[in-house]
A and B are shown apart, each in its own frame.
Chain A
Amino acid sequence: DAGITQSPRYKITETGRQVTLMCHQTWSHSYMFWYRQDLGHGLRLIYYSAAADITDKGEVPDGYVVSRSKTENFPLTLESATRSQTSVYFCASSENRGRTYEQYFGPGTRLTVT
């Protein structure tokens, strides 16, 4: 049972480059989420998706793009990376049936923008 996986686990990129973080879940959960974790801010929601082809902005969406053509994948793209996007990125998924709302998190991607 693979659960939820993220790749790459570590990434160093330069300012202005485009970078895509991958997220894959094997549970067929309908909901998926991207968070960034920064010291003193906890986790902040970037984007979320209720189903394939349905996405919406979270608290801090600027500079990010998402897509969800398949239920199991939810890639996050930084179109032109900036140093302020240096962070740890977590993907999560949730079934959201019966109002359980429990989210399951991936192992995270540590992104450094130089």
Chain B
Amino acid sequence: AQSVSQHNHHVILSEAASLELGCNYSYGGTVNLFWYVQYPGQHLQLLLKYFSGDPLVKGIKGFEAEFIKSKFSFNLRKPSVQWSDTAEYFCAVITGGTSYGKLTFGQGTILTVHP
């Protein structure tokens, strides 16, 4: 079965710092990759997704992620974080060959941004 690992449980940054959150998955075939964000007290929202094509994908609110197939990674980046980016971030994967689109989530990374 596929799995997703997010290496950082809690990241603390100051505003304007750069952000990179790691995500690795374990599956050798075709994958669809997602980053979701959960702001305090809210439901999950999609930040960005990768299905095919350009491995550098851009999402909402200035976030981007790069799919590196050889490293089984899909790291999330933002050049300059804001206090409003404080949230929990989840990486998720859907593997090819399934018709049900079942998402497998990582454990989540809590991002705290200090003003």
Contact = CB atoms under 8 A, between A and B. Distances in A.
Contacts of A90: 43-44
Interface stretch (A14-22, A40-48, A65-73): A40-48
A102 B9 CA distance: 25
Contacts of A48: 100, 102
Contacts of A94: 101
A21 to B, nearest CB: 14
A48 B104 CA distance: 13
* A contact face: mostly helix, strand, loop, or mixed: strand
Interface in A3-25: none
Given A40-B107, A42-B105, A106-B43, A99 B100 contact: no
A105 B46 CA distance: 9
B70 interface: no
Contacts of B46: 102-103
**Which bucket holds chain A's interface residue count?**
20 to 34
Interface in B6-36: 6, 9, 32, 34, 36
B65 interface: no
A75 interface: no
B101 to A, nearest CB: 4
* B contact face: mostly helix, strand, loop, or mixed: loop
B2 to A, nearest CB: 11
B102 A45 contact: yes
A107 interface: yes
Interface string B38-64: 000011111001010000000000000
A92 B101 CA distance: 12
Contacts of A92: 44
Nearest to B90: A42
B105 A96 contact: no
A68 to B, nearest CB: 14
Nearest to A107: B43
- Residue in A42, A45, A90, A102 with the greatest tally of chain B CB atoms within 10 Å: A42
Q: What 5 A-B pairs have minimum CB-CB distances, sorted nearest first?
A: A101-B101, A42-B105, A105-B44, A43-B105, A42-B107
